[in-house]
Amino acid sequence: MGPSLARVWLAALTVLIGVLSPIVGPEWIPPVAMALPMLAAGLLLPRSSLLFLLAVSAAMVGYDEGVLGWEKTRPGGVLVVALASLYAYRLANTREQLGVQGFRGESMLVDLRDRLRAQGELPRLPVGWESEALLRSAGSHSFGGDFLVAARTGDGSTLELALVDVSGKGVDAATRALLLSGALGGLLGAVAPHEFLPAANRYLLRQQWLDGFATAVHLVVDLNTGRFVVESAGHPPPAHFISGSGTWRLIHGDAVPLGVLPDADFVGANGMLAGGDALLLYTDGLVENAEREISVGIDKLVGEAERLVTQGFRYGASRLIETVPPDASDDRALLMLWRS
């Protein structure tokens, strides 16, 4: 239905409600029912047409008041119609800014959210390798600033992934995360592994976001030998469980976050994942808040991870992301990769 036809139908429905209310009785068709076509107009009409419908509603409310009297039209009903009109106008304004009609804006956001989640799914790994990745947004939001991109590159013998934490939290960081995840996902396998973080840094600098920095950890694993290289851009240090000694070792990196310095240097740390070894990657929402130093949070995370050694790493990420975070006020993500 086009906007012109919708305006005619909604205006006719408003007039019909206003005329029938005194005839049938406000008990069956109350004047407050004029709020329904007004809400529909917020989804279907531009603001200019909405103002026309608002004038029609005001006229019919006045008509009903004159015929029925103030006692039967009731001030509460008039207030509901007025509030529905304000909400409809704001909704129409949002739709015009987005350039969409009806519920397409919400559908678009749902589609983007699903694409972000799908892009963060870990690829199927060879026998002997297992993994688990979890992301939680701040509060109850579906969107957050933490995301994961992963792929098997080359001939499929290499696992390459990046865990990223965009500045901000919740919905505020979600739009930047959606844009950045697509760009970084396209870089996996398209550039040499040692060029991944420099390319991501240059991309972020070109965006010129006011609050647009991001921390990231980039991991490249040879699935045949178990050798890995991990690079950090201002990210909390990954933890490596070495089954031979039964201990967790932090892999520290001193590079600055992405999007801060044009000539940032990212130095990789080499390691080996032997049978029984594991890697733990996470974002700062899991270990830090305003009341707790990040070092204290990392110690708690490693302490909880030590309990997984005897229980097994499977489903360990689920246990850690539920027990370690100090609160749910920040986005948090956690990835575990291990050899069985």
| Residue 120 pLDDT | 67
Pairing mode of beta strands 278-282, 332-339: antiparallel
The mean of the pLDDT values for the chain is: 83
Buried b (16+ CB within 10 A) or exposed e, 305-337: beebbeeebeebbeebbeebbbeeebbbbbbbb
pLDDT exceeds cutoff 90 at 42: no
Q: What is the mean pLDDT of residues 120-138?
A: 88
Lowest mean pLDDT among 123-127, 142-146, 178-182: 142-146
Name the token pair of 101: 């009609």
Give residue limits of the domains in the chain: 3-102, 119-339
The percentage of residues in the chain with a pLDDT greater than 90, rounded to a whole number, is 32
The fold of the 119-339 domain, in CATH, is Phosphatase 2c; domain 1 (3.60.40)
How do residues 254-293 score in pLDDT, each as one tens digit?
Answer: 779 999 989 888 989 999 999 999 999 999 888 887 777 8
Which residues contact residue 196 at a Cβ distance below 8 angstroms, ignoring those fewer than 6 apart? 160, 162, 184, 187, 188, 218, 231
The percentage of residues in the chain with a pLDDT greater than 70, rounded to a whole number, is 86
| Residue 180 pLDDT | 87
Tell me the pLDDT band of 3, cut-offs 50, 70 and 90.
low
Is the pTM here over 0.85, yes or no?
no
Beta-sheet strands, E only, within the chain = 129-136, 146-153, 158-166, 214-222, 227-233, 239-242, 247-250, 269-272, 278-282, 332-339
| Residue 106 pLDDT | 56
CA dist 225 and 119 (Å) reads: 26
Per-range mean pLDDT, top range of 110-119, 200-209, 233-242: 233-242
Name the token pair of 326: 């100090």
